[in-house]
């Protein structure tokens, strides 16, 4: 199960991309994320995948069961897919 408990991300320039995000996704459950440009969808996915680190979280154990990817390898895959 993926559990996020009050997760936040503030970038060094002061932009707050996520604030207080909480959700629980059970194994086999499908989650759809929709929203306007700049609302934090990609930031949330990058934090879950390990490509970015949340700056605030109330539950560190929520991240323990998520396999982390090599950021360089993931970036190359993303760059290749968009080309």
Q: What is the pLDDT of residues 49-63, one digit of tens each?
A: 888 888 887 664 545
d(CA 43, CA 20): 13
- What is the tally of structural domains in the chain? 1
The stretch 19-28 carries a mean pLDDT of 88
Comparing C-alpha atoms, which of 47, 64, 63, 67 is closest to residue 55? Answer: 47
Which pLDDT does position 70 carry in this prediction?
Answer: 55
Cα–Cα separations (whole angstroms), residue 26 to 12, 23, 40: 33, 10, 22
Share of the chain above pLDDT 70, in %: 69
Single pTM value for the model:
0.66
Which pLDDT does position 80 carry in this prediction?
Answer: 52
d(CA 66, CA 79): 23
If you ran DSSP here, which 8-state letter would residue 69 be given?
A: P
- Domain range for 48 is 2-82
Question: How confident is residue 24, by pLDDT bands cut at 50, 70 and 90?
Answer: confident
Question: How confident is residue 48, by pLDDT bands cut at 50, 70 and 90?
Answer: confident
């Amino acid at each position: 199960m993926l559990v996020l408990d009050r997760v936040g991300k503030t970038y060094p320039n002061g932009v707050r991309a996520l604030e207080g995000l909480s959700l629980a996704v059970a194994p086999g459950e499908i989650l759809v994320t929709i929203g306007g440009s700049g609302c934090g969808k990609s930031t949330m996915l990058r934090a879950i995948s390990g490509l970015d680190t949340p700056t605030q979280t109330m539950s560190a154990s929520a991240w323990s069961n998520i396999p982390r990817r090599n950021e360089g390898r993931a970036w190359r895959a993303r760059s290749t897919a968009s080309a």
